[in-house]
Copies of this chain bind each other. A is one copy, B any other.
Amino acid sequence: MVERRLAAILAADVAGYSRLVGADEEGTIARLSSHRRILIDPKIKQHHGRIVKTTGDGMLIEFASAVDAVRCAAEIQRAMVDRNASVPEEKRITLRTGINVGDIIVEGDDILGDGVNVAARLEALAQPGGVCISGTVYDYIRDKLPLPFTDQGEQTVKNIARPVRVYGLSAEAVASLPETPTSVDALSPPERRWDQLSSL
């Protein structure tokens, strides 16, 4: 019997990773490793995500909640702005993030199915520094997280039968969000933090 579960899938990768590695292999890998250790992995943990797999510059993360997944992506992208502020532009590591919710197929620790593939396609559509989500995800978060996502219409993506409704949070919109603490210990409850955004 096939095991299924509803999950929010966050796919992330580094924009122009091959170019960065080509220009500075050791430096790029060390910087990405540092972002992961200090920012990304703690944020994933804080929002109850599970890293399903990583490639050189890619990550696939599973969340039980769409709200948690979008919070996590937005907070990581916002914090990356600060982490990149003092880095020369040609050395900056900038992430693209895509989120979908699917009734996915579970095989051991791995997850499979259309719902996962769509997340990867959304990531490819995301602006570097931004967050791209499906219409399904948007429906779950629209009344819960005051983030200025914009409707980018229905888009046809590779190897997916139906067009996907796409909503994007631009890098500019991310940079305008209030700062969020990057250390898990320093965090106030997320509900309170995001409520503060409502006043924007």
Contact = CB atoms under 8 A, between A and B. Distances in A.
Given A1-B191, A8-B6, A140 B103 contact: yes
A190 interface: yes
Nearest to A115: B140
A189 interface: yes
A168 to B, nearest CB: 20
Given A103-B140, A136-B136, A136-B139, A6 B64 contact: yes
Contacts of A6: 6-8, 64-66, 101, 140
8 contacts: A1-B189, A1-B190, A4-B64, A4-B65, A5-B65, A6-B66, A65-B103, A66-B103
Given A103-B140, A143-B161, A161-B143, A67 B4 contact: yes
A97 B68 CA distance: 29
Contact of A4 (B1, B68, B101, B139): B68
Interface in A6-59: 6-8
A2 interface: yes
* Interface size grouping (class) on chain A: 20 to 34
Contacts of A65: 4-6, 103
Most buried by B among A2, A102, A103: A103
A126 B4 CA distance: 26
A161 B142 CA distance: 12
Contacts of A8: 6
Contacts of A2: 189-191
A2 B194 CA distance: 12
Interface string A88-108: 000000000000011100000
A39 B191 CA distance: 41
